[in-house]
Amino acid sequence: METVAENQKVRITKKLEKMFGHIDYKNPPELCPVRDVMSVASDQWSVLIILWLGYFEKLRFNKLKKYVYGISNKVLSQRLKVLEADGYISRKAFAEVPIRVEYSLTEFGHSYVEKLLELTEWMQLNCPKVLANRERYGLF
């Protein structure tokens, strides 16, 4: 990662454009792709939802609620909607009584899980803080 001295004027580079989406830092923050990417499925609940759906082929609402321990109906419902809209998961409703709804990861969702695991493994090896907790996790 090449850096630039503080007093130096910002140079417009391909790399910077990719990082911020647009060189003008006064632009609305929604225009930053990195920010977008990280905001989509990086919150605590979404991560757990995605992980459990990565482990099970498919899960119904209440099963998912059981595994994503401590989540409420409202929050689970909200997160599922966002994750579906963003293409991580798919929702399949069956016209039964009572209604049955199955959630599963999309192709993209599965590859995102791989990325999450990669990042986590990398963090476990490189992040000072996580490293300090490895005993707590019982890993390695």
Query: Contact at 8 Å (CB) between 88 and 105?
Result: yes
CB of 77: closest distance to a second copy in angstroms?
18
CA distances to 16, 88, 106, 111 from 79, in Å: 31, 11, 15, 19
Work out which of 16, 47, 48, 101 binds DNA, going by CB under 7 A.
101
75 binds a second copy (CB under 8 A): no
135 binds a second copy (CB under 8 A): no
Q: Which residues contact 95 (CB under 8 A, 6 or more apart)?
A: none
d(CA 22, CA 11): 12
67 binds DNA (CB under 7 A): no
Please report where in the chains the tokens 């919150």 appear, as a residue.
Answer: 43
Work out which of 12, 17, 81, 135 binds a second copy, going by CB under 8 A.
17
Residue 36 interface partner, choices DNA, a second copy, none, CB cut-off 5-8 Å depending on type:
a second copy
* Footprint of DNA (CB under 7 A): 43-45, 60-63, 70-75, 77, 80, 91, 97-102
